[in-house]
Structure 1
Amino acid sequence: MALPLAVLVARWGAMAWGLSPRAAGLTAEPVAETINQLGLWALRALWLTLAVTPLRAVTGWNWLAAWRRPLGLWCFAYATLHLMVYVGLDMLGDLGLLWADVVKHRFILLGMAGWVMLLPLALTSPRAVARWLGGRRWRVLHRLAYVAGLAVAVHFLLRVKGFQIEPWIYAGLLALLLGLRRWPARAIMHWTRPRA
């Protein structure tokens, strides 16, 4: 998960050394491209995090559980960088301009809501905090990931201009993950078991 971030940093480094944004691989609008890439990787990491439980149920691969926490933290890291680049470089830290943009574009409000929902999940990810909260309360809190996923999916759908297939693919994947979450693991295993 660190590779896309390393690529972005290298491209900005190349631009700092004198390459044009296009030649560095950041298009004619490097800030917008960076915001888009960081947001896309945050979304991908969140979807992968949400896919861990259904994949374990279908495959029986319990080792996948160890990936849920690091994937969730990568999701939060990319989402935080996405927000920081938007506020710091696109809005130049101007809170008045930021507020005007939030009022004008609903998708920005949804994106920020998604980040706010991911914040307590990141803060409660350490094992010591999970133990302090207790397993049941921790699990209930971490269901926010699905609500954040819905906010992020709609954020992406409203963000693009005109009809584009990519955000609909991600929305469809989220619907599939939510559907699999509702089915008991036994039903999934029965459905995927090869027939004699």
Structure 2
Amino acid sequence: MASIRAPGLPAGSRPAGSHINRWLGHRAAKPVGFVLALLPMAWLVWAAFADQLGANPAEALIRSLGDWTIRFLVLVLVITPLRTVTGWVTLARLRRMVGLFVFFYACMHLLAYAWFDMAFSLPAVVDDVIKRPFILVGFLGWLLLLALAATSFNRAIRAMGAKRWQLLHRAVYAVAGLAVLHFFWMRSGKNDFAEVAVYAALFAALLGWRLWRRLSPPRAA
């Protein structure tokens, strides 16, 4: 069968992005991605032991873990638009791993809070969740992430059915909204909203892109 090439490309040339797809599809791509995703955690652990986290290391560790949670959340949400726009289809094979790292950093954020702020006192944590809205919002976001992480495997997809699974996993946008609200309330005490505005704009743009794609009429073949 004759090879099919995109119009305007010289014979024997590869479509744009084919090299990226080949690299992302390599069996080493996931292990490399896994190591890269762990680097922020490794640096924070080293910085804590080396006393490099400033005058209040506990607060710095808690907030840094929260920052990395929201950064990985942006990363997992940008995979689909980036894959669609660039044609890097093999990006999809990294999406589950990145999503699980969102949950991992959220768990580390929660663990650091429970350890350094609450001394692992469950009654104190429950009281704080009830009394402080930004803690409640953050905890609700973590619960949603827990549901998404627990159903991120192929067995869960088969058990739930594809449609119900997809409906549940659209809750990642609710997680994004709760994360921004949590971040906003946390920064309100210092009246510092610049970084909050950046994340809010990114999530709004990603959600807008998703809605635009869903509402746009299908293109003719």
Q: Structure 1 length normalisation: TM-score?
A: 0.85
1:148-194 deviations in whole A, cap 9, x for unaligned? 1100111001111213301110011000011011012796xx9xxxx
Q: 1:133 aligned to 2:169?
A: no
Question: How far apart are 1:118 and its partner, in Å?
Answer: 0.5
Rounded to whole Å, the distance in 1 between the matches of 2:215 and 2:140 is 34
Q: Which runs of 5+ in 2 are unaligned?
A: 1-36
Question: How far apart are 1:70 and its partner, in Å?
Answer: 0.6
The residue correspondences of 1:1-196 to structure 2 (distance < 5 A) are 1-14=37-50, 24-160=51-187, 161-184=190-213
What letter corresponds to residue 47 of structure 2 in structure 1? R
Rounded to whole Å, the distance in 2 between the matches of 1:45 and 1:36 is 14
1:48-70 deviations in whole A, cap 9, x for unaligned? 11111122222222111112101
Structure 1 residues 11 and 163, CA, compared in 2 at 3 Å: closer, same or farther?
Answer: closer
Question: How far apart are 1:99 and its partner, in Å?
Answer: 3.1
Q: Which runs of 5+ in 1 are unaligned?
A: 15-23, 191-196
What letter corresponds to residue 183 of structure 1 in structure 2? W
Greater RCO (Cα-Cα under 8 Å, separation 6 or more):
1
Question: How far apart are 1:126 and its partner, in Å?
Answer: 1.5
Rounded to whole Å, the distance in 1 between the matches of 2:41 and 2:208 is 31
Higher helix share: 1
1:125-165 deviations in whole A, cap 9, x for unaligned? 12222222221111111011111110011100111121330
Partner of 2:192, secondary structure, is: coil
Rounded to whole Å, the distance in 1 between the matches of 2:214 and 2:79 is 13
What letter corresponds to residue 4 of structure 1 in structure 2? P
Structure possessing the higher radius of gyration over alpha carbons: 2
Rounded to whole Å, the distance in 2 between the matches of 1:131 and 1:60 is 28
Q: Structure 2 length normalisation: TM-score?
A: 0.76
Rounded to whole Å, the distance in 2 between the matches of 1:135 and 1:90 is 40
1:81-128 deviations in whole A, cap 9, x for unaligned? 100110122110123322332233211111000000000110111222
What letter corresponds to residue 165 of structure 2 in structure 1? W
Identity %: 42
